[in-house]
Structure 1
Amino acid sequence: MKKLVALILALALTLGCAAALADKIGYTCMDGTNPFFVALESAIREVVEANGDELISLDPQNSNEKQIAQIEDMISNGVVAMFVNPVDKDGIIAGLDKLKEANIPMFGFDTEVADMSYLVTYAGSDNYNAGKVCGEDLVAKLPEGGPIIVLDSPTMQSVVDRTNGFLDAIKDKGFEVVFQKDCMGNQEQGNLNGTDALTAHPEAVAIFGGNDPTALGAAAAAEAAQSKALIYGVDGSPDIKALIAEGKVTGTGAQSPISIGKTIAELYYKWKAGETVEERYPIATFMINSDNIAEYNNGGWQ
């Protein structure tokens, strides 16, 4: 009996020590309800928990003020590192300063911050190329050019890069941007602004959305307006791929949230182990359209 009690006490002590050794690691992204970030957070969580640590994940719901407040909460909660995706590339600097003061290392993903020197390293899609392949596809499909609508998000560096890639690809190809407005990466706003844009410019031949939720909103607006405008997004989400298969969306500059999440989480553990990591790790992006949709329309993320 005494041996059994001793064994139980030893096991409890071992488990208690293991629990004490587990680190709390913070996670913040611009919009936790976006399916892209749901998949990305899950990939990070898988790596973190496989290493015996705990991921504390909070959703600022596209509010810079809430994101900074949540960063403060996580600092108080004792996180030892932070995975960071900003609502606002400039606005988040106040939160990064608080992390720096607390000596908490920062690991960026998907969207750059205004001052990348705060970050240990960064993993994100080649966002410029994701927009560029959409522009190249548009030029191939409509070589005569025409009026186009751009639904972007200037506070999100990832969307800025995509928009720049798209606009560079169509430059001097006969296209004219007749409407450009911030949709905050939001499907509802994409629908509202898409509706306004098509009401003012029913002759538009194409709509570029800075991400797939924006493009989904624009696609619904185009269908309601009976517009034949080509619709482009960026992400490669299951929802957008289903609409590409149905012919309701033209294409998306695809990225892989699973690869981004796994990469940045593994980089943290490499850095923690004392290994050298580079400043940034670009993740490849590519075009998904009617030509190759059969390869990717499997109900999940690539």
Structure 2
Amino acid sequence: MKKNGKLLTSTLTTAITAAGLSLMPMQSAMADKIALVVSTLNNPFFVSLQQGAKDKAEELGHELIVLDSGDDAARELSNVEDALSRGVDLLLINPTDSDAVVSSVRTANGRDVPVVTLDRSANGGRVAAHVASDNVAGGELAGNFIAEKLAGKGEIVQLEGVAGASATRDRGEGFMKAIDGQSGLSLVATQPANFNRTQGLNVMENLLQAHPSVNAVFAQNDEMALGAQRALQAAGKDILLVGFDGTDEGIKAVQAGKMDATVAQQPALIGSLGVDTADKLLKDEDVEKTISVPLKLITE
């Protein structure tokens, strides 16, 4: 995986060391360059993921370039092409969409630049490793919590994330696994709010108009849950509300009694493990194809 230029540098380094000369300027100049392309930095979860990656890159001596795709698949591809033009050695990518990102992955593949996906997977191309929480298990945690709190009886609505994102699919799959087969529970509506707080507010307002007797809400991330909470508060509704991600604001809302629970991920650890995995790949070390990050249910 090492490039010919780096092998040449290694030979020169040996010769310079033998001559007793300083190596510091050359080592700094030849630091591995890693790109981190993030779906959006307009979300506290991905800000934390970015910070975890930055901290680990600094610790390991890598140069980290961070590019924000703004939840736009076309911009994501442009960011990847930009990163590759800068001569990055490895691409870390948090996809906007698991299908759309395939073009970005294949573009990196064409340049022989290894790809590691973070939080959301890619549905094609060669990916060296995937670092993420078990979103199916997390959705099931949320579903089981709601089923228990409702004693197996009630109406539920679900706010979905970005259509096509693996996190949306997997969290929904786990949630449905938990509530399916319980005859007393009814999923009366499931609508996308794209992991966005404002859309969570607007969608929840509409759902309350259509389903005034709803007993519980599962939002596939904390941003949507916090938007839904505002809609519920404005409507004078005190019903079960569960989010996902365990962001600082989400956890504070649980502690304040504004949300009943959140499935806590560790975004900073996802970013950190992403860079750690990149470091191993750049050293030609073996890595696991899938690296799971622990999660847990946070309640008051």
Regarding TM over 0.5, the answer is yes
CA distance in 1, matches of 2:23, 2:91: 28
Name 2:286's counterpart in structure 1. Answer: 276
Name 2:14's counterpart in structure 1. Answer: none
1:112-151 aligned at under 5 Å gives the runs 112-115=121-124, 118-151=126-159
1:1-302 aligned at under 5 Å gives the runs 14-115=23-124, 118-153=126-161, 154-173=163-182, 174-290=184-300
1:43 Cα deviation after fit:
1.0
1:172 Cα deviation after fit:
2.1
Amino acid at match of 1:181: Q
1:161 Cα deviation after fit:
0.7
CA distance in 2, matches of 1:270, 1:95: 22
1:272 Cα deviation after fit:
2.0
Name 2:4's counterpart in structure 1. Answer: none
CA distance in 1, matches of 2:274, 2:88: 17
1:214 Cα deviation after fit:
0.9
Provide Cα deviations, 1:259-280, integer angstroms capped at 9, x if missing partner: 2122221111122222211110
1:258 Cα deviation after fit:
2.1
CA distance in 1, matches of 2:152, 2:119: 34
Amino acid at match of 1:238: D
1:225 Cα deviation after fit:
1.1
CA distance in 1, matches of 2:263, 2:60: 33
1:15 Cα deviation after fit:
4.4
Percent identical across equivalent pairs? 29
Q: The residue matched to 1:275 in structure 2 has which SS?
A: coil
Provide Cα deviations, 1:160-197, integer angstroms capped at 9, x if missing partner: 11111111111122222222111111111111111111
Contact 1:129–1:286 (CA under 8 A) maintained in structure 2: no
CA distance in 2, matches of 1:97, 1:65: 14
Provide Cα deviations, 1:278-299, integer angstroms capped at 9, x if missing partner: 1101112211112xxxxxxxxx
CA distance in 1, matches of 2:152, 2:187: 15
Question: With structure 1 as the length reference, what TM-score do the two structures score?
Answer: 0.88
CA distance in 1, matches of 2:283, 2:158: 44
Q: The residue matched to 1:124 in structure 2 has which SS?
A: strand
1:159 Cα deviation after fit:
2.1
Contact 1:127–1:285 (CA under 8 A) maintained in structure 2: no
Q: Return 5+ residue gaps in structure 1 as ranges.
A: 1-11, 291-302
CA distance in 1, matches of 2:297, 2:256: 17
Q: The residue matched to 2:28 in structure 1 has which SS?
A: helix
1:13 Cα deviation after fit:
7.2
CA distance in 2, matches of 1:189, 1:118: 34
Q: Return 5+ residue gaps in structure 2 as ranges.
A: 1-20
Name 1:4's counterpart in structure 2. Answer: none
Provide Cα deviations, 1:21-59, integer angstroms capped at 9, x if missing partner: 112211012111211111111111112122222111011
Amino acid at match of 1:234: F
Contact 1:151–1:190 (CA under 8 A) maintained in structure 2: yes
Provide Cα deviations, 1:76-96, integer angstroms capped at 9, x if missing partner: 111110101110100111111
Amino acid at match of 2:157: I
Q: The residue matched to 2:65 in structure 1 has which SS?
A: strand
Amino acid at match of 1:121: A
CA distance in 2, matches of 1:284, 1:104: 28
Q: The residue matched to 1:88 in structure 2 has which SS?
A: coil
CA distance in 2, matches of 1:64, 1:273: 31
